[in-house]
Amino acid sequence: MTALSQQALEGVRRIKPYQPGKPVEELERELGLTDIIKLASNENPLGPGQAARAALSAPLSQLERYPDGNGFALRSALAAHHDVGPERIVLGNGSNDVLELIARAFLTRGRRSVFSEHAFAVYPLASQAVGAELCGVPANPAAHPEQPFGHDLDAMAEAVNEHAAVVFIANPNNPTGTWVEPAVLETFLQRVPAHVAVVLDEAYNEYMAPELRPATSKLLDQYDNLIVTRTFSKVYGLAALRAGYALAHPDVADLLNRIRQPFNVNALAQAAAIAALGDTRHVERSVALNNEGLRQLRAGLTAMGLGFLPSQANFVTVDCARPAGPLFDALLRKGVILRPLAGYGMPNHLRITVGTKDENQRCLDALGEVLDIAGAAA
Ligand SMILES: *Cc1c(COP(=O)(O)O)cnc(C)c1O
């Protein structure tokens, strides 16, 4: 440790770095493999739609220009999409950016950040960086009949003490795929005091069954302390461009807009996001492919006698019933990248992103081989 690194803020020094899904190029370099499939980062196997791809050409010819720092066109499109005023929208360099803005605006030493155990890793990361007290609330037990490893919102409401400033809820949650019933969410919102921010992270909202999706715009009208986050990285297939946003009360949005970088969303991302938002057919196609892929993966896992968590997202979390680390490594050697979850306190689980039909089958076959389950590849 240098004298300078010792001077870093305590919260920063104690951070455990985020572990992203293993990039394909990295595995190519390490093992000299080709024909690798990556089902590790919940990306859309179809990529972006044609409209989003086409929208990139105009900003590409103007790379010397700063993007619109207010994101006027994108915020207008989002306002229409959600039927809210543009003053409720905060754009981010991915929704990760917005989650950090929320942490910076509301958390510091002496304030508590509440989230569920096995929830998205960015909540503790962003909270710890600003020195807040981390309160990871025990999740539902593995034997829970409906939402094993899912958020226990009653316990989370109880964790909201006088120091609590932010509660993060991922719905559906990554890496479990579990979700919160609309009525349960509403009861929770009623219980949390109005000066505590409730962040509802809806990165996978578009994949949910329609009847399970919260009435986002209506809830925003009712609860001034609700902040909803969304992303273009998942169903819209634009993870590389980094675009996400928050919907919040105009006063809260104003605060978050004051602390973001003036040009935090680049011009390519803004243009592609607007086009993607209007391309409802691509979203429908992506969701349909995902639903088929979920059925395929569940059937294959069931045939192998493997358990898995219920999911309303674009991934399935498998209970390998043994340490998953060696299985993850063995799958890498077969050119299949999944996501190990030991860092999430789930050492026996692997998360599989739903891919194309062929990718899903290759994943199932490889899993059967490394588990040495007779007839798994049949
Ligand atoms: C993928 C994901 C995000 C989105 O991250 P971006 O920064 O928008 O790419 C946010 N929350 C959860 C729970 C996620 O899984």
Mutate to test the pocket of ligand 1, among 180, 234, 266 (most ligand atoms within 8 A of CB): 234
pLDDT at 378 exceeding the cut of 60: no
**In the predicted model, is pLDDT for residue 377 greater than 80?**
no
- DSSP 3-state of 204: coil
Going from the C-alpha of 225 to that of each of 73, 193, 245, 253, 260, the distances in angstroms are 26, 8, 16, 11, 19
Supply the pLDDT for residue 374: 45
pLDDT in tens, 188-209: 999 999 999 999 999 999 999 9
Query: What distance in Å separates the CA atoms of residue 141 and residue 150, rounded to the nearest whole number?
Result: 8
The overall average pLDDT reported for the chain is: 96
Instruction: Determine the residue of 174, 179, 265 to mutate for testing ligand 1's pocket, defined as the one with the most ligand atoms within 8 A of the Cβ atom.
Output: 174
Ligand 1 atom with the shortest distance to the CA of 242: 9
Q: Which secondary-structure segment (H or E) carries 135? A: strand 133-137
Q: Ligand 1 pocket test: which of 44, 90, 120 has the largest number of ligand atoms within 8 Å of its C-beta?
A: 120
Ligand 1 surroundings by CB, under 6 angstroms: 42, 94-96, 120, 170, 174, 201, 203, 231, 233-234, 239, 244
Cα→Cα distances 56→60, 129, 273, 275, Å: 6, 34, 10, 9
Bridge-based pairing of strands 244-247 and 226-231 is antiparallel
What confidence score (pLDDT) does residue 372 get? 84
Closest among 273, 224, 222 to 252, alpha carbons compared: 224
Nearest CA to ligand 1 atom 6: 94
Span from the CA of 211 to the centroid of ligand 1 (angstroms):
22
CA 231 / ligand 1 centre spacing (Å): 7
Residue type, 223: Y
Q: Model confidence over 243-277: pLDDT tens digits?
A: 999 999 999 999 999 999 999 999 999 999 999 99
Model pLDDT, residue 17: 85
pLDDT digits (tens, 9 = 90+) for 209-234: 999 999 999 999 999 999 999 999 99
Q: What percent of the chain stands above pLDDT 70?
A: 98
Say how many Å lie between the CA of residue 312 and the centre of ligand 1. Answer: 15
User: Ligand 1 centre from 125 Cα, in Å?
Assistant: 13
